[in-house]
Amino acid sequence: MSDRAIRAAVADGTLIRLREGAFSTPDQNQGCVGAARLHGRLSCVSELKRRGIFVLERSKPHIHVPSTSSRLPRMPAGHTVHRCRLVRTPDPCAMSVEVLDAVVQAVRCQPPRAGIATIDSALHHRVIGADDLDDLFDALPRRYRRLRGLVDGRAESGPETMVRLMLRSLGCRFELQVKITAVGRVDFVVDGWLIVECDSKAFHSSWEEQLKDRRRDLAAAERGYAVLRVVAEDILWHPEAVLRALRGLVTARSL
């Protein structure tokens, strides 16, 4: 486009000016636009949240700027800036980092269990593949390599990963995503008798959905299973209470 055409497009709103020499269409993600205005790219948990990948809720923006950048604009309060070397080189016009780099950054920015849940989610949604794990862990400090054996892309949500890690810490035997006749698929079967379901508001808020869940629980009880339903909010923000409940049930059964 000529300078004249660009000025006209900015004037009529077809383009928005990000910074000197950089423009975007107005329908772009606002997080990406904000990062580009600061001479960076949306990254880490902010980029993964935009893509629908699980991260612990973070409100402050995370952006990546090249380590060689100088004379950057003053960063607004609350922004987290990453200057690490990227594993994958983004397109020169991209306003976000490649997803593998976002995962690498998010693992470092979150507690270990949340980092594992993020990797699980990225695998489940197929934005990274199993063959990307070598590059991912090579890009992380050596102390993170012990987490690789805990990764499992079968988890369908972050809370499921968190519960799986809790069960593992208790030394329980468990199966994931188990199909039971007349009950359907359940998140976990623990020690062959306890069904654990991780419920979220998105899929269990209406009365019709809750009624379906109660009838599934009845069918499970008829087949000798006990059912524990835990909500995502408690799993993420009150994990100690969930862990105590799991320990209490497993311990009582063994007495």
pLDDT in tens, 98-118: 999 999 999 999 999 999 999
Question: How many angstroms separate the CA atoms of 9 and 199, rounded?
Answer: 48
**CA pair distance 23, 17, nearest whole angstrom:** 5
Pair 87, 146 in one domain: yes
98, 87 Cβ separation under 8 angstroms: yes
| Residue 1 within any structural domain of the chain | no
Residue 5 lies in a domain: no
Residue 62 token pair = 């995370």
What is the C-alpha separation between 149 and 137, in angstroms, rounded?
11
Residue 204 has a pLDDT of 58
Q: What is the pLDDT of residue 166?
A: 97
Q: For residue 203, what pLDDT band results from cuts at 50, 70 and 90?
A: low
For the chain, counts of helices (H) and of strands (E)? 11, 9
Range(s) of the domain holding residue 176: 158-254
Interatomic CA distance for residues 55 and 108, integer angstroms: 12
Residues 144 and 174 in one domain: no
Q: For the ranges 74-88, 195-209, 237-251, which has the lowest average pLDDT?
A: 195-209
pLDDT mean across residues, the chain: 93
Strand-pairing partners, residue 188, are 176, 196
pLDDT for res 205: 64
| Residue 73 binned pLDDT confidence (cut-offs 50, 70, 90) | confident
In a domain, 7, yes or no: no
pLDDT in the model for residue 210: 84
Domain co-membership, 167 together with 76: no
Instruction: Give residue 48's pLDDT band: very low, low, confident or very high (50, 70, 90).
Output: very high
Q: What is the pTM of this model?
A: 0.90
pLDDT band at 27 (very low <50, low <70, confident <90, very high): very high
**Average pLDDT, integer, range 224-249:** 96
Q: Is the pLDDT of residue 147 over 90?
A: yes
Say whether pLDDT at 139 is over 90.
yes
Same domain, 209 and 113: no
